[in-house]
Chain A
Amino acid sequence: MDRMQVLADKGEEYIAELGFEPAFTVTIEYAPTEMFHSPRGDRIFRRIDGGSISGRITGTVYPDGGGEYSQRREDAVIDIDAHVLLRDDSEQGEWLYLRNIGYRRPDGYYRVTSWVDADVRGQHDWVLGLFFIGVGVPAEDGRSMTISYYEVT
């Protein structure tokens, strides 16, 4: 197979290292799940009822408007797509927007790539433009999900 290449690029020195720094943990509480069949699979709607964030950001999950709009595929994997609004516990209550996309597999694997929008004038501007990796663990009763986020450095 013809390919464009520079053989030196395959040196071990070019296998770049990444770092993962614990950033924050978000517990998201959900209302009962709604699901319907769409042309591309089962659309799963989980309205967000509340929750909390702890770690480098502390505050609460805004209960009125966020949700998870995921899709279960034919291979039983769920494509996660969640939009979460957060408010920190400072006096002024800064708003943050968290977006999660990733996979939930039948074997328990729940991983998301996430990014956060925050006020450029606020105390959380360090999150801007970064990627976070989230590892999710559901509560036993299925009513909430706790996601540990790592900043990709």
Chain B
Amino acid sequence: MMDRRDVLRGGAVAGATALAARAATAAAQDTPTDAPIKDINGLRHRWAFSVSVFFKERITIESPYRRAFVPAIGGDIWGPRLSGRVVPYGGADFGGGGGPLDAHYMFQADDGHYIYINNRGYMRRIGADPADGVRRDVGPVNPDGSFSQEFRSGSNDETPLRMRTSPFFDAPVNSPHAWMNSTLFIGHGLRMVDPDRTIFTYYEVL
């Protein structure tokens, strides 16, 4: 058994390699940005970047949780701390059709580095019972067992949604994006149509 203070000391007990790693982590957090820091009720945060993710097809499995498969066909990334694109067909949202999001796809920064995102979140109709989530009803089942795959979440104007996400990233450790590996983010999603897409606004929690 070890004293927890040993754990808290972190890499100090592991020698110079760990110390160097800690220094690199600290340096990564210091990436300069012009984005202003906001403080709401004591929680400091700032806009890191936004992402538009474009969609085309949707596939639903009529499983108990109505698994939905929605590929990310491409997109754009812009903001003070990251710029790049969403890799076309580099992943999808595999969330339950009842509302929870669980997306796995890839970014590519302007400098060429790839960044993995796992974007978990929820969509809730404003004013709805929270236990219901968002109903994305599937059409009637045909005699042969098939059913219509046509469904979509409408734009925010049609269906006011509260969409919040908590993305986690894997970025290359020896890259300008390493800070994303140890920063908590919270996101806001806005549904848009024509073309079908969602704009995510990501804040880093300071």
Contacts and interface: CB of A to CB of B under 8 A. Distances in A.
Contacts of B154: none
A131 B22 contact: no
Contacts of A101: 168
Contacts of A1: 84-85, 108, 110
Interface in B45-75: 45, 47, 50, 52, 54, 73-75
A64 interface: no
A119 B3 CA distance: 37
Interface string B179-206: 0011110101010100101010101010
Contacts of B130: 125-126, 128-130
A44 B6 CA distance: 11
Interface residues of B, number: 63
A76 B29 contact: no
B172 interface: no
Contacts, number: 161
A133 B181 contact: no
Contact of A152 (B1, B7, B164): B164
Contact of A133 (B43, B74, B199): B43
A62 interface: no
A91 interface: no
B21 interface: yes
B103 interface: no
**10 shortest interchain CB distances as A-B pairs:** A4-B74, A3-B85, A5-B76, A76-B11, A16-B188, A111-B184, A33-B4, A113-B166, A20-B43, A16-B201
Interface of B: 1-8, 10-11, 18, 21-22, 24-26, 29, 40-43, 45, 47, 50, 52, 54, 73-76, 78, 84-86, 88, 99, 108, 110, 121-122, 124, 130-131, 133, 164, 166, 168, 173, 178, 181-184, 186, 188, 190, 192, 195, 197, 199, 201, 203, 205
Interface of A: 1-6, 9-10, 14-22, 30, 32-35, 44, 46, 72, 74-78, 101-103, 105-107, 109, 111-113, 120, 125-126, 128-131, 133, 135, 138, 142-143, 148, 150, 152
